[in-house]
Amino acid sequence: MEPGLHARSGVACADCHMPYMRDGASKVSDHWVRSPLLNINRACQVCHLFPKEEMAARVDRIQQRNFDLLQRAAKALMDQMDAIIAMQAAGVLHEDLAESLALQRALSGVWTLSRLKIR
């Protein structure tokens, strides 16, 4: 969710990952950077006034949707790989497969990057 609406609305990493806390009488930011979901109260509810459970459920839905899309992309990549292998076995010339192979490489790269970003 990082490059989306929050970034465009000027919400910074630290707003969620280093929320304010109290240390005696003073207000300091939390330097124990960890999942904001362990601390929805301070990490999200400063700006969002809806209940904690609903907040968590929304994050969960977004994460599930990303996960499902990644799974679909992975399956499509595998299917494409199988199709390439089948064509090779059927004697299709390497140069005739060049475009498919280039796409396979490019898409694998994109998929790997998107995995790294999410988890």
What residues line the site for ligand HEC (CB under 6 A)?
Answer: 2, 4-6, 9, 11, 13, 15-17, 35-37, 43-44, 46-48, 55, 58-59, 119
Q: How far is the CB of 119 from ligand HEC (least distance, A)?
A: 5
User: Which C-beta is closer to ligand HEC: that of 54 or that of 79?
Assistant: 54
Strand partners, 26: 23
Nearer to ligand HEC among residue 38 and residue 78 (C-beta):
38
Q: Which residues contact 81 (CB under 8 A, 6 or more apart)?
A: 104
Query: In b/e form, how buried is each residue of 1-15, taking b as 16+ CB within 10 angstroms?
Result: eeeeeeeeeeeeeeb
Residue (of 111, 56, 58, 117) closest to 80 by Cα position = 111
CB of 62 to ligand HEC, least distance (A): 7
State the minimum distance, in angstroms, from the CB of residue 23 to ligand HEC.
20
Task: Choose between 34 and 72: whose C-beta lies nearer to ligand HEC.
Answer: 34
Give the separation between CA 67 and CA 54, rounded to whole angstroms. Answer: 20
